[in-house]
């Protein structure tokens, strides 16, 4: 094998087995896929050590992918429960799972995740640094952070969020911005604190070449984290966010120079009227690299319903260039999500992704909608349930208040528009009072 990464292979004109699998899944030519990988516009996060992986492509012209965040915290350290969430996420069709555990020795859980997950696996090494190194934040050295990155890569992680863009220049812009919610990125806030306490440059920025060398060795895709993403609609598209984005654009080309695949992460919280422009701006500044968004959440007043505010923003973002949606659950801003929250978050994110695929004219995206519409015309409930994103819930709703005639539902009964029109077109009479 004369390549280390998917990007290097594509640049050498080699179609890898992962490229062929993705091409078959997406229904596109492998050569076309390879060309877009070579240009940096598509990534296939696929660490060779993740042997249970079913490869997925993320980027230009492909179906929109969704990510599920999970992992333990100091207040909720039940690894068995997190593995249940993993199983649920895979069953519901999540394309990737990010282990955001930030408590204790997480390597055992991560190893179990990698052994069992056909979905891509991502991590944020910054979250694991204190537990892995058994040092408090101020005692961690720049080189220590690199040790954690290498440990995750050796386990088989496919992509990592690295907050390399929050350097001293970006921090100065943030400090002068007078934000309402300051820094809301967990990893970003920890790096900011480390920089301020030590007086040093961001270690992921200062030693970026060494970071890339590690990622290249294991073909780990770098997901350039947006430490200064807006945490409220008040702060969106401010100088801090844009200053970091400019840094991320430069870091993107530096990674490509070392044959490392790149994704770029984006906002955050953002009013609907700003989303399309932000997607265009990111793609331009970051040279068409795949864009990975958290939300965006389009309002700040819906705790308990942020899976909905996120799905609204995610659909708009993906219809305007975002390639990868990070799900948000109803528990966002409130607590660690439980199994029910995870399901609600995944379904909401899948709706947003699919709606965007339709809007973007992705080949085949409308087919299942057309099948559902045909089943509705024929009032074939079993077919409708089989086509639904959550057929179990659809069936439960239907059967919770069953109609007297299964050729309708309990909302419209005999006045069902489908039933009425079908009868007329079949040459039958419509009699509402005396019909049995």
Binding-site residue numbers are 69, 98, 127, 163, 185-187, 226-229, 265, 269, 292, 333, 409, 412, 416
Rounded distance, CA 396 to CA 402, Å? Answer: 10
Cβ-count burial 337-348 (b if 16+ within 10 Å, e if not): beeebbbbbbbb
CA–CA dist 215, 160 (Å, integer) = 9
Q: From the annotation, which residues make up the binding site for [4Fe-4S] cluster? A: 409, 412, 416
Question: What contacts 381, CB < 8 A, 6 or more positions away?
Answer: 398, 406
Q: What does the radius of gyration of the chain's CA atoms come to, in whole angstroms?
A: 23
DSSP-derived secondary structure letter, 137: G
Binding-site residue set for Zn(2+): 269, 333
| Helical packing angle, 186-198 and 168-177, nearest 10° | 110
Q: Which of 383, 184, 381 is nearest to 294 (CA)?
A: 184
**Beta carbons within 8 Å of 131's beta carbon, 6+ residues apart:** 102, 103, 104, 105, 106
Report the sign of the C-alpha dihedral through residues 138, 140, 143, 147, in that order.
negative
Pairing of β 324-326 and β 291-294: parallel
Find all residues with CB under 8 Å of 314, minimum gap 6, and list them: 293, 295, 296, 322, 325, 349, 352, 353, 356
Q: How far apart are CA 209 and CA 224, in angstroms?
A: 14
The 3-state DSSP class for residue 218 equals helix
Between the alpha carbon of residue 412 and those of residues 360, 401, 402, 404, 429, the distances in Å are 34, 12, 11, 11, 18
Q: How many CA atoms lie within 13 A of 27 on its CB side?
A: 5
- Distance of alpha carbon 155 from the chain centroid: 21
Classify the C-alpha dihedral 78-84-88-91 as positive or negative.
positive
What is the Cβ-side half-sphere exposure of residue 349, based on CA atoms within 13 angstroms? 33
Q: Name the residue among 157, 125, 53, 89 with its Cα closest to residue 337.
A: 89
Helix (H) or strand (E) holding 80: helix 79-91
In this structure, the number of other CB atoms found within 10 A of the CB of residue 367 comes to 9
């Amino acid at each position: 094998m004369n390549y280390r990464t998917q990007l290097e292979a594509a640049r050498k004109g080699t179609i890898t087995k992962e490229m062929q699998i993705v091409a078959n899944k997406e229904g596109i030519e492998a050569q076309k896929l390879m060309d877009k990988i070579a240009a940096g516009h598509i990534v296939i996060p696929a660490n060779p050590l993740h042997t249970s992986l079913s490869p997925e492509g993320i980027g230009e012209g492909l179906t929109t992918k969704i990510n599920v965040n999970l992992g333990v915290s100091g207040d909720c350290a039940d690894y068995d429960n997190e593995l249940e969430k993993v199983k649920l996420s895979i069953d519901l069709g999540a394309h990737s799972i990010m282990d955001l555990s930030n408590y204790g020795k997480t390597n055992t859980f991560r190893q179990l995740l990698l052994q069992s997950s056909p979905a891509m696996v991502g991590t944020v090494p910054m979250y694991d640094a204190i537990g892995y190194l058994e040092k408090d934040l101020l005692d961690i050295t720049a080189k220590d952070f690199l040790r954690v990155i290498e440990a995750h890569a050796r386990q088989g992680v496919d992509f990592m969020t690295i907050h390399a863009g929050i350097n001293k220049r970006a921090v100065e812009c943030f400090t002068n911005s007078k934000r309402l919610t300051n820094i809301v990125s967990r990893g970003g806030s920890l790096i900011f604190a480390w920089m301020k306490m030590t007086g040093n440059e961001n270690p992921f920025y200062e030693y970026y070449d060494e970071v890339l060398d590690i990622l290249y060795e294991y073909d780990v895709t770098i997901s350039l984290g947006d430490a200064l993403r807006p945490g409220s609609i008040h702060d969106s598209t401010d100088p801090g966010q844009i200053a970091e984005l400019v840094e991320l654009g430069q870091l993107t080309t530096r990674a490509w120079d070392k044959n490392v695949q790149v994704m770029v992460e984006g906002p955050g919280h953002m009013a609907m009227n700003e989303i399309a422009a932000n997607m265009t701006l990111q793609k331009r500044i970051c040279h068409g690299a795949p864009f990975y968004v958290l939300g965006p959440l389009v309002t700040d007043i819906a705790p308990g319903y942020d899976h909905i505010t996120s799905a609204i923003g995610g659909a708009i973002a993906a219809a305007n260039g975002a390639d990868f949606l990070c799900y948000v659950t109803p528990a966002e801003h409130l607590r660690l999500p439980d199994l029910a929250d995870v399901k609600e978050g995944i379904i909401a994110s899948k709706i947003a992704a699919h709606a965007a695929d339709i809007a973007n004219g992705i080949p085949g995206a409308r087919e299942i909608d057309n099948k559902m519409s045909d089943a509705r015309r024929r009032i074939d409930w079993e077919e409708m349930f089989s086509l639904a994103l959550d057929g179990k819930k659809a069936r439960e709703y239907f059967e919770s208040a069953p109609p007297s005639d299964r050729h309708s539902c309990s909302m419209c009964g005999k006045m069902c528009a489908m039933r009425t029109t079908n009868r007329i077109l079949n040459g039958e009479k419509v009699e509402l009072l005396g019909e049995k």
